[in-house]
Chain A
């Protein structure tokens, strides 16, 4: 097979159709929940299967709502903006990037990890005083490069995945060896094309190698958060992937977060509980 270059991937990205409107809205309304609800509701209403799913979940017994929830707007209020937003993001992006069937891609597992990393990132960001919503989005999309490469370059990526399984080593190691670049670089180029905020693009780019220019800094940034969130999500086994492999923790990033044992441990039950709720929606 002819080798793949980063230039070719960047050209692929330039030729991708534009992002579904609802995803663009979600990204733009990141930090403005009140404006976001209307736009999210409008976006969902245009999509029959998403609308039906949101209503089905909102009407399930666990929300304890006595009357029937009939409007998307109410469903978003009940389920939470962020939870419905991630459902929509996952569903839309999965439809946008549909890997060929022979890739045996499991979207559920992919998003279980994405949502896990998003929830970990949000909890960590709150703890260290960074923007929790930007952290959530960055966590949700940190592996978007994997999904893109699976879809746009299935032959090359099948080789990467086979080698990873064979050698039971980290994905980025095989990617750098066989492709010459990794999913973090490809994902960041895509995030940039989608006009995500710069700090999110940076966090996607650096989630396996955070803070290259901040070795001596004491202040954490979003890339530190997403790096640790990805590791924590794997450590908590949130994707339930039998082959999951916890990446090695960057010592400087960890030091910048400055979390002690009791603080970290106190975050875990909330993360696991929220994860269950978000994923129930994904499966509904």
Chain B
């Protein structure tokens, strides 16, 4: 790519995004260290009180989900800034609210000993049996409210900017091309289509999340105010599912924008691409009942819908995003570097992780796999290797110097990539094996017969932590060196 093109692609708020990715990278590393400690404790290698384990598990879950959202938001903001005018003030507001929320959550877990999980499943926050005070649960949920309001601000800025330029979210989704008479050359760029879809479904998700958070907060203050537990669970899992999906659908924009820089082939907004993103918009909203397959009081049609849409969600991922990436890579003869390797690995991880997820989304399988370690097994594949891989691929690209661009992969790059990929694969495989052996998820204390997988997982996790910590340090030092992007 020429210097002129590089200049054209400068994002006005690149500094803010770089800061976002630094925060994300550091928090990812810290949360991974907590993960290692928890797996070591489950494997009998560390002696930890159950209370502390559940606090760490809550911190790990909320921290990872929040950081996945933050890093995805950073990526989307950076590349969307190439196509529309985005407000720096709104982004600063989003970041500030996010960080205030993080402080509330950390105070809640480490000072208030809140251990009710990132899912705050009603009515657990208000009924801890003495493990934490109501104020700690309130602080945790208020932290979520701050983060949620921050994200709503973020999507408001994105939505307004997209509508200003494209004249509506429908046009930004490319519907005038597939449902109207417009030619495919008039379709918005892939980044805009993805951003429009994510803005719609994650705004919906966060609004539903805010409603159930407020209801749970009122329940804390006025215990007589009772919420229907099934309704609350539906709302929580709708919010949680949509939010975590949004993180990876925002992060994949890095693949759409950066892979073309390597292959020299522009990622096109074809009709298949537009239809795929319209399907994603529908599927992300409608698939959440697959989290409630063991709630037999749920209407059967919703559970059937959860299973079928779980499966269908794999179609746009595999037949459009992954397939197109493979086509673009073919014969492009570029020189691999850490950034491109991580981005391609991330799409592979996302696709591979979809397999155990889809299988678990079948009612008949879910009967014996639900809430076993199979579940963290599949979501760690597409979140760790997928979302985190995309984030670190983007970070590696952000700080890539011109000399590195010529040299491709250095020995250290190869070591970091191998350590991340092998560690991630081994770590997640141990979860899947444990799930198949009926090991329940979220148990502070494990049976001795489960120790082998726990200990192997600890070793694999250390490989991942080594890679991620080193990449964060290299990114931080690279930021001061490189100001080209």
| Chain A bound to chain B | no
Residues of B at under 8 Å CB distance from A? none
